[in-house]
């Protein structure tokens, strides 16, 4: 076996006759994985993992491997286009980049003159690592309105962790936690923000115990020492119940609690409102199991919580994040080796500085949409989507005239899709930058061809909190596609903001790297840069919060007029909060399970990925299926108070019979009409976006927990 | 002579299906020989049996497909790799019926049988088969000498604390 080594790139080059191999950094999801890109005759022929990359150690996922199918897809948009028919007519003509950017610039300036900069909304979805450059553009232009997924995805983790302990505590997988509690996350499939499944998997190989909190059985749940199969949306109650056990059995870290937390007494009072009898009733999880999990998590050191987005797409969003952090804190796992660490970034200009948040004038900041309502979100430059739709449709509190979506497909991904569609139809002017003509792009006036990760130079993982940055190196050029960064750098000059930008974007990378005394051309030769690693920094420095303590009791939330301690609120549409609705819609619908191959709305046109999932699937317990006359593989209708969609049924015993699980973001690029079937199976036809169903601090909507009925489709 | 095996510890498999796409990439995004199948979930008492099981040709010691092939297109090499020679295959499908693991496929266009040849075009030049070349995040796909693989699997199993 000695002749065989993993990722033997020299041999690979020789055997297949590749012309070159470029090390780069994938971004088919949130990014993270180091890759080896093999090129022949100017085309990417093979993608493999980079065994030297500290993030993925050479392993990859389906999406990274199939990147070429997206990059070279025949339907890919490779030049700018302008719509020549009515919205949604699918009639486009080719234009030049100059025409496209001049038109966009002219519109932006016109709306700013007539209606204020706030009438121009920029947006991104899960982002192509373009977050910072989009904020930079909006802030310097004077618009406080950047519409992202940040109200219900990752933004809440950032906002709540900064106010609680100064930064997002990242699991220190490198030092092998001995107990891992996976909460609302399927890390091995989703490779979520700041994490990859591989190090998690290795920690289990090293002997970690596993607790999984999930309403749905996953392989991790099947392997778990304890699986807590909670009622959807009751996470905060469950976590408060665990806190209750830890406090009352004195399993907490006494030194940490005595010296480094703020608000212990009110916290104890709060957790005492959640005795296990009550928690069992709320969560449907037997109290003994809750106790067992709490004891395991609190007594094994070091321990870590691997959290995911599911806890944020709820009315309890901010409190879910906070209460899980409090669990990390009181057990002494914060900033401990092998626990969760407040990693320091490398010494470079950070995303906040590059995003130019300090340059947005105060009077513009005060106009941020929904700023009075969702105050924590607003503090972190995040807005709730409905605020934008209302501003377009009703011009309240002021009109929004122009949308510019860069890597975003809100028709598919934002709650209450019908309203989103209406708003996009009404918008005075809309530009989109994307890879394909998506259902959202089909409503635009101009669509720009965006570059994929293989077509750009950038500092990868710049925005993450794991303490690394890595070079993403441009390998190929496809058509006239341009990276979002270069595109905005160019546009910035055309709207007269050139003084804060660069003559070419490489100089922006130099500017970011400057404090490390590096230029892009030096960094490009490196494997990665890592911030200095240190543990228990709070002993010297305290935490970066107003009290310098780990804030169990949040002084920031208190000042904003929110409950300073986490509490549990019942989901707005549940069997208990809406018993009348429940009579007609007798199942709890959960949504958004992660699938190998897809990244939200992306990749349904890549053949190797689409063949993994041909149709949208709703999972349903065999007993429930029997009762509703549904058989394996049937097309079924899922209906909520807001509309109906179709999925195919898969019988799945790993769910409570009272719950069904649908998938999100399904559209059908193979349907050539301009709608591409956006409303057929789009789970957001079913979801609600009314303000009162949103988390009061972050504006997160409850897209993952609602009530539905389900029945066979009539043929 | 070294013996080569591809062994997958499906206790560790997460069902991420990366191995499938790695295989597909090797065969120019046209075909793949490894498929991850879901087994369960089935409730047994208070527990669930729920696995993802990658299925691929096992390169059997006594391959039933070899005996079933009237053209002698299938043969087991001395190093253990069972190779189906596409040039010799006449497309009779006998091997498909003979395989107890459902691991032989069919190319409708070319009218020939297809199976995993353990990337012998790679192995013979010192490269690890595509699916086993460190793509798997669970590190549960092993290639090489079967005895030492089984020993590694056992060692890892003893260390684990999960179910
Ligand atoms: S996990 Fe993300 S970064 Fe890694 S290979 Fe997959 S898509 Fe790329
Ligand atoms: S790559 Fe590994 S974990 Fe993923 S499906 Fe294949 S064997 Fe399972």
Distance CA A446, CA A448 (A): 7
Measured at the alpha carbon of residue B112, what is the angle toward residues B107 and B118, in degrees to the nearest 5? 80
List the residue whose alpha carbon is closest to atom 8 of ligand 2: B13
A282/A313 same-domain check:
yes
Distance B16 CA to ligand 2 centre (A): 5
Cα nearest neighbour of B146 on chain A:
A1
Same domain? For A131 and A177 the reply is no
Q: Do A222 and B51 touch (CB under 8 A)?
A: yes
Q: CB-based contact (8 Å) between A617 and chain B?
A: no
Beta strands in A411-497 (DSSP E): 429-434, 446-449, 458-460, 468-472
Distance CA A682, CA A668 (A): 10
**What confidence score (pLDDT) does residue A126 get?**
85
ipTM summary value = 0.96
* Nearest Cβ partner for B134 among A58, A207, A223: A58
A602 alpha carbon – ligand 1 mean position (Å) = 13
Q: Which residue of A has its CA nearest to B27?
A: A46
Query: What mean pLDDT do residues A684-700 have?
Result: 98
How large is the C-alpha radius of gyration of chain A?
A: 25
User: How many inter-chain contacts (A to B, CB under 8 Å) are there?
Assistant: 155
Nearest CB to B144: which of A4, A197, A608? Answer: A4
With tokens 């080569």, the residue in question is B4
- Integer distance in angstroms from the first to the last C-alpha of chain A? 58
Do A360 and A337 share a structural domain?
Answer: no
Q: Which of A500, A527, A560 is the C-terminal boundary of a domain? A: A560
Return the ligand 2 atom nearest residue B138 CA.
Answer: 3
Answer yes or no: do B52 and A219 touch at CB < 8 A: yes
Same domain, A139 and A249: no
Token pair belonging to B7: 């062994």
Interface test with B, best of A196, A201, A229, A306 (most B CBs within 10 A): A201
Phi/psi of residue B86, each to 5°? -65, -30
Q: Counting beta carbons within 10 angstroms of the beta carbon of residue A113, is it exposed (0 to 12), middle (13 to 18) or buried (19 or more)? A: exposed
DSSP A125-164: SS-SS-HHHHHHHHHHHT---EE-STTTSSHHHHHHHHHH
Q: Is the pLDDT of residue B34 over 60?
A: yes
Arithmetic mean of pLDDT, A147-166: 97
Q: What's the pLDDT tens digit per position in A284-299?
A: 999 999 999 999 999 9
Residue A639 sits in a domain whose CATH number is 2.40.40.20
A164 within domain boundaries: no
Q: What is the pLDDT of residue A3?
A: 78
> What is the residue-averaged pLDDT of chain A?
97
pTM of the model: 0.97
Overall domain count for chain A: 3
Percent of chain A with pLDDT over 90: 98
Query: Is A11 domain-assigned?
Result: no
Is A472 in contact with A456 (CB distance < 8 Å)? yes
- In chain B, the residue whose alpha carbon lies closest to the alpha carbon of A6 is B133
Close Cβ partners of B154 (under 8 Å, ≥ 6 residues apart):
none
CB contact under 8 A, B137 and A59: yes
Nearest chain B Cα distance for residue A526, angstroms = 23
In which band, very low, low, confident or very high, does the pLDDT at B59 lie, cut at 50, 70 and 90? very high
Task: Give residue-wise pLDDT tens across range A410-450.
Answer: 999 999 999 999 999 999 999 999 999 999 999 999 999 99
- Co-location of A321 and A297 in the same domain: yes
Which residue ranges have their beta carbon within 6 Å of ligand 1? Answer: A 26, 28-29, 31-33, 56, 60-61, 63-64, 191, 196
Residue nearest to atom 8 of ligand 1 (CA): A64
With cut-offs at 50, 70 and 90, classify the pLDDT of residue A31.
confident
Please return the burial class of A471, using the count of CB atoms within 10 Å of its CB with bins 0-12, 13-18 and 19+: buried
Q: Is the pLDDT reported for residue A468 higher than 90?
A: yes
Sorted by sequence, the CB contacts under 8 Å of residue A233 that are 6+ apart come out as: A314, A315, A316, A570, A571, A574, A702, A704, A705
Q: Do residue A361 and residue A287 come from a single domain?
A: no
- Average pLDDT (A580-586) is 98
pLDDT of A128:
84
Judge whether A17 lies within some domain. no
* A29-33, B71-75, B139-143: segment of lowest average pLDDT: A29-33
The contacts of residue B109 (CB under 8 Å, 6+ apart) are none
- Domain shared by A602 and A503, yes or no: no
Contacts of A219 in chain B (CB under 8 A): 13-15, 50-52
The CATH code of the domain that includes A245 is: 3.40.228.10
Over residues B40-52, the mean pLDDT reads 94
CATH of the domain at A89: 3.40.50.740
Confidence (pLDDT) at A2:
53
Name residues 322-381 of chain A within 8 A of B (Cβ).
none
> Percent of chain A scored above 70 by pLDDT?
100
Q: Is A399 inside any structural domain?
A: yes
- Per-residue confidence (pLDDT) for residue B2, from 0 to 100: 79
Same domain? For A263 and A293 the reply is: yes
Nearest to B16 among A58, A61, A652 (CB): A61
Query: Above 50 in pLDDT, residue A657?
Result: yes
Q: Quote the ligand 1 centre to A461 CA distance (angstroms).
A: 12
Give the distance (Å) from ligand 1 centre to CA of residue A490: 29
Secondary element (H or E) of residue A170 = strand A170-171
CA A29, CA A464: separation in Å to the nearest integer? 13
**Same domain assignment for residues A206 and A97:** no
Query: Do A508 and A605 reside in the same domain of the chain?
Result: no
Question: Does residue A14 sit within a domain?
Answer: no
Contact flag B13-A219 (C-beta cutoff 8 Å): yes
Section A156-172 average pLDDT: 98
Confidence band of A1 (pLDDT split at 50, 70, 90): very low
A612 inside domain: yes
In a domain, A42, yes or no: no
- Which ligand places an atom closest to the C-alpha of B140? 2
- The answer on A324 and A176 residing in a single domain is yes
CB contact (8 A) between residue B14 and residue A189: yes
Over residues A477-493, the mean pLDDT reads: 98
Specify the pLDDT at position A653.
97
- Residue A679 falls within a domain, yes or no? yes
Distance, first Cα to last Cα, chain B: 38
* Same domain assignment for residues A327 and A196: yes
Residues in Cβ contact with A546 at an 8 Å cutoff, skipping those fewer than 6 apart? A555, A556
Q: What is the mean pLDDT of residues A626-636?
A: 98
User: What is the domain extent for residue A388?
Assistant: 81-154+347-453+462-467+480-515
Q: Measure in Å the smallest separation between the Cα of A57 and chain B Cα atoms.
A: 9
**pLDDT greater than 70 at residue A309:** yes
Per residue in A76-124, pLDDT tens? Answer: 999 999 999 999 999 999 999 999 999 999 999 999 999 999 999 999 9
Write out residues with Cβ below 6 Å of ligand 2.
B 8, 13-19, 36, 52, 54, 136-138, 140-141
Domains of chain B: 5-162 (3.30.70.20)
Nearest to A572 by CA among A699, A659, A690, A664: A690
């Amino acid at each position: 076996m000695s002749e065989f080594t993993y990722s033997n790139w020299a041999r690979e080059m020789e055997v297949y006759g590749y012309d070159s191999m470029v090390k780069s950094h994938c971004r088919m999801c949130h990014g993270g994985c180091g890759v080896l890109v093999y090129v022949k005759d100017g085309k990417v022929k093979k993608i493999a993992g980079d065994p030297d990359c500290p993030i993925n150690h050479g392993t990859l996922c389906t999406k990274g491997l199939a990147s070429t199918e997206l990059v070279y897809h025949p339907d890919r948009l490779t030049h700018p286009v302008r719509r020549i028919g009515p919205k949604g007519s699918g009639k486009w003509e080719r234009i030049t980049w100059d025409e496209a950017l001049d038109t966009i610039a002219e519109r932006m300036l016109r709306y700013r003159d007539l209606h204020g900069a706030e009438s121009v909304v920029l947006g991104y979805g899960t982002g192509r690592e373009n977050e910072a450059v989009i904020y930079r553009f909006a802030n310097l232009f004077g618009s406080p309105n950047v519409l992202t997924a940040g109200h219900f995805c990752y933004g809440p983790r950032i906002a709540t962790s900064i106010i609680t302990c100064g930064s997002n505590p990242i699991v220190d997988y490198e030092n092998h936690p001995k107990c891992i509690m996976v909460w609302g996350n399927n890390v091995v499939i989703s490779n979520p923000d700041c994490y990859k499944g591989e190090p998690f998997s290795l920690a289990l190989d090293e002997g970690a115990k596993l607790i999984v909190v999930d309403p749905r059985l996953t392989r991790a749940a099947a392997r778990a020492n304890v699986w807590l199969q909670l009622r959807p949306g009751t996470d905060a109650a469950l976590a408060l119940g665990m806190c209750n056990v830890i406090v009352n059995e004195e399993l907490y870290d006494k030194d940490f609690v005595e010296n480094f937390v703020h608000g212990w007494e009110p916290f104890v009072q709060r957790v005492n409102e959640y005795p296990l009898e009550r928690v069992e009733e709320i969560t449907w999880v037997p109290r003994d199991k809750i106790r067992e999990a709490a004891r395991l998590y609190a007594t094994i050191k070091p321990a870590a919580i691997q959290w995911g987005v599911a806890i944020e797409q709820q009315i309890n969003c901010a409190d879910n994040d906070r209460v899980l952090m409090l669990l990390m804190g009181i057990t002494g796992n914060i900033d401990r080796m092998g626990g969760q660490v407040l990693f320091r970034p490398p010494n470079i200009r950070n995303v906040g500085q590059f995003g130019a948040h300090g340059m947005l004038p105060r009077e513009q900041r005060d106009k941020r949409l929904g700023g009075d309502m969702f105050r924590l979100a607003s503090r972190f430059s995040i807005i709730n989507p409905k605020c934008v739709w209302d501003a377009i449709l009703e011009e309240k509190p002021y009109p929004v005239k122009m949308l510019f979506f860069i890597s975003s497909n809100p028709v598919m991904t934002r709650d209450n899709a019908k309203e989103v569609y209406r708003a996009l139809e009404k918008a005075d002017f809309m530009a989109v930058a994307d890879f394909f003509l998506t259902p959202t792009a089909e409503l635009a006036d101009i669509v720009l061809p965006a570059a994929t990760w293989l077509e750009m130079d950038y500092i990868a993982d710049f925005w993450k909190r794991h303490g690394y940055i890595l070079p993403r190196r441009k390998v190929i050029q496809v058509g006239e596609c341009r990276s979002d960064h270069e595109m905005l750098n160019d546009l910035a000059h055309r709207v007269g903001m050139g003084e804060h930008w660069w003559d070419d974007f490489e100089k922006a990378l130099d500017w970011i790297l400057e404090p490390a005394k590096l230029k892009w051309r030096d960094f490009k030769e490196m494997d990665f840069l890592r911030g200095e690693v240190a543990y228990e920094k709070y002993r010297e420095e305290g935490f970066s919060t107003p009290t310098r303590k780990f804030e169990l009791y949040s002084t920031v939330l208190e000042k904003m007029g929110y409950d300073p301690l986490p509490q549990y609120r019942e989901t707005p549409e549940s069997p208990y909060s809406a018993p009348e609705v429940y009579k007609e819609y007798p199942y709890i619908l959960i949504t958004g399970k992660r699938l190998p191959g897809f990244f939200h709305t992306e990749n349904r046109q890549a053949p190797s990925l689409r063949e993994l999932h041909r149709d949208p699937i709703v999972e349903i317990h065999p007993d429930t299926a029997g009762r509703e006359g549904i058989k394996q593989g049937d097309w079924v209708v899922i209906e909520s108070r807001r509309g109906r969609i179709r999925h195919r049924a898969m019988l799945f015993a790993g769910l409570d019979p009272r719950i069904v699980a649908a998938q999100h973001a399904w559209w059908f690029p193979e349907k050539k009409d301009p709608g591409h079937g956006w409303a057929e199976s789009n789970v957001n036809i079913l979801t609600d976006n009314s303000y009162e169903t949103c988390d009061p601090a972050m504006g997160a909507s409850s897209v993952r927990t609602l009530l539905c009925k389900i029945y066979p489709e009539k043929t | 002579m070294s013996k080569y095996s591809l062994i997958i510890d499906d206790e560790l498999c997460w069902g991420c299906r990366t191995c499938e796409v790695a295989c597909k990439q090797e065969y120019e995004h046209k075909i793949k020989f490894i498929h991850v199948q879901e087994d369960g979930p089935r409730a047994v008492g208070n527990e669930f049996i729920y696995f993802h099981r990658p299925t691929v040709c096992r390169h059997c010691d006594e391959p039933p497909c070899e005996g079933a092939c009237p053209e002698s297109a299938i043969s087991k090499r001395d190093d253990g790799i069972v190779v189906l020679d596409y040039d010799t295959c006449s497309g009779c499908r006998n091997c498909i019926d003979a395989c107890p693991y459902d691991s032989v496929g069919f190319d409708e266009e070319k009218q020939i049988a297809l199976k995993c040849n353990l990337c012998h075009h790679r192995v013979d030049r010192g490269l690890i088969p595509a699916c086993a070349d460190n793509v798997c995040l669970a590190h549960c796909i092993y290639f090489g000498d079967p005895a030492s693989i089984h020993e590694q699997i056992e060692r890892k199993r003893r260390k684990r604390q999960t179910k």
